[in-house]
Chain A
Amino acid sequence: MSNTGKNASQNFTQTELLVHALVIELEAVQSYKDLAEQMEQCGNTEVAALFDKMSKLEAEHAEKIREAAGDVELTELPPWEYRWPGLEPPENIDLAGVHYLMTPHQALELALENELSAMAFFDAIAHDSTDDQVGSLAQEFGDDERQHVAWMKEWLAKYPPPDDDWDYDPDPPAAID
């Protein structure tokens, strides 16, 4: 589909890397915000609060990238010109993985998956780039994501895994049952 294919991580300029890094965070801010609102609509307030917290965390990260950019003008690209390894920016939650009755543990598992994807994205650039400055900046961004991964794992340990019947709804949306 929209994948860029092999060796895409070699060719980032510093500005492109900064733009990609910023957009990853901005998209994640929006994605978590949307999910928080969706969960709020369904009355799953605990998970809504968690997604809201994630959105704020990503917003802080976006600010950090803006600071790192300094005077470099970060102009967003048309959406189809970003070189993501998958269909969407690495920190966007796959909507197909969410459920209105999902537990905080499941939400954090998804968040952890995203942080790992983002880490892998930056690590690949750090590894493949032929430009030392780009490699070093990618390494820095990868380390930030590593920190987020550590936090996710800490938070995950605080929430028990879901019961087998976590998706049982005594009043399911399917009126055909």
Chain B
Amino acid sequence: MVRRMSVAAPCKLKASDYKSGTKPVWCPGCGDFHVLASLTKAIAALALVPENLAVVSGIGCSSRIPAYLNCYGFHGVHGRALPLATGLKVARPDLTVICAGGDGDGFSIGGNHLLHACRRNVDITYVVMDNEIYGMTKGQPSPTTAPDWDSELAPGGTGVSPFHPLVIALASGANFVARTFAGDVKGTTRTLAEAIGHPGFSFVQILSPCVTFRPDQREWKNKVHPPPVTFTTDPAQAARRVMTDDGFNIGVLYKGSRDIYGQAVERNAEFERDLDAEFLV
């Protein structure tokens, strides 16, 4: 397989050079600050050229991240970050495309897009900052919230079984699957760099505490731990592992070798030109 990533050897920008002048409005203590730091460090380590990098997001606290980065960005429609990112990458395969958002945006509103993005295996990296809550809209339970999480908005808990994003991603065909903890900047940076460099659809779930509506998540730093075994290339084995872990194993879980979209099917340039012409206004 050919990795389609825009890496330029002479680019020696520092992580801080990839931050825009816009100051984040996240709450102090939010895990997303760490994710921003990790992402900029990973991009700097990979020497990605800002003009060849695009970060696409949906809606939510974490989806504000493109505004804080010094590269191309698209703050899209709620739940539709993946279709936007997919379209961008297919139209401009020379770009490195990173898609980012939260658990509500990615697993609920955009849940269906996740399945098909995994299936298509377009060469993009999807980063989900999972805080198990809708933070921007003041703390409603999300698809990854535990069923017994008690709050004013869900007294006694929702009683609804939480979503297992990593298992869904594996079952749907994602080519790289990992979980990290936002507070582990070093580990997250490394995993993000690996995910961006891995061909095909890479999915990284980052446990990113919401200290405002889920102050209990401050304890995540004491709960996360490395996995007992290294990654596997067998999606079924990876799925079994993640279904039986405690939700706090962090690290790369699965690395696949599926053909990436656009390489498995030969493109018909003439047909594409004709189709483009039909839609010209």
Chain A residues within 8 Å of B, Cβ to Cβ: 1-2, 30, 34-35, 37-39, 41-42, 76, 78-80, 82, 84, 87-88, 94-100, 102, 173-177
A39 vs B33: C-alpha distance when bound (angstroms)? 13
Q: Which of B's residues lie within 8 Å of A, judged by CB? A: 14-16, 23-31, 33-34, 41-42, 45, 138-139, 151-153, 181, 183-187, 189-190, 193, 209, 211-213, 218, 221, 224-226, 250
List chain A residues, Cβ under 8 A from B181: 1
**Residues of A contacting B183 in the complex (Cβ-Cβ under 8 angstroms):** 87-88, 94-96
Tell me which residues across on chain B come within 8 A of A42, comparing CB atoms. 27-28
| Contacts beyond the supplied A1-B250, A79-B185, A95-B28: 17 A-B pairs with Cβ under 8 Å | A1-B181, A2-B184, A2-B187, A34-B33, A35-B28, A37-B23, A38-B28, A41-B24, A76-B14, A79-B15, A80-B189, A87-B183, A96-B221, A98-B28, A173-B138, A174-B139, A174-B213
Closest CB-CB distance, A128 to chain B, in whole Å?
A: 21
Q: What is the number of contacts between chain A and chain B, taking CB atoms within 8 Å?
A: 95
Give Cα A175 to B152, complex, Å: 10
Name the A residues within 8 Å of B34 (CB-CB).
95
**Which chain A residues lie closer than 8 Å to B224 at the CB level?**
1
B11 to chain A, nearest CB (A): 14
Contact present for A79 and B41 (CB under 8 Å): yes
- B186 and A2 contact, CB distance less than 8 A: yes
List of B residues within 8 angstroms of A38 by Cβ = 24, 26, 28, 33
Known: A42-B28, A95-B31. A176 touches B186 (CB 8 A): no
Report whether A79 and B45 are in contact in the complex, using a CB–CB cutoff of 8 Å: yes
Docked complex Cα distance between A95 and B185 (Å): 11
A11 to B23, CA, bound (A): 39
Contacts A95-B29, A96-B211; is A88 near B139 (CB within 8 Å)?
Answer: no
Query: Quick one: given A38-B28, A38-B33, A41-B23, are A82 and B139 in contact (CB under 8 Å)?
Result: no
Quick check: B218 and A176 within 8 Å, CB to CB? no
In the complex, residue of chain B having the shortest beta-carbon distance to the beta carbon of A47: B28
Pairs across A and B, CB under 8 Å, 25 listed: A1-B186, A2-B184, A38-B26, A41-B25, A42-B27, A42-B28, A78-B193, A80-B189, A87-B185, A87-B186, A94-B221, A95-B30, A95-B33, A96-B209, A98-B28, A99-B211, A100-B29, A102-B28, A173-B27, A173-B138, A173-B212, A174-B212, A175-B139, A176-B152, A176-B153
Q: Which residue of A lies closest to B225 (CB)?
A: A1
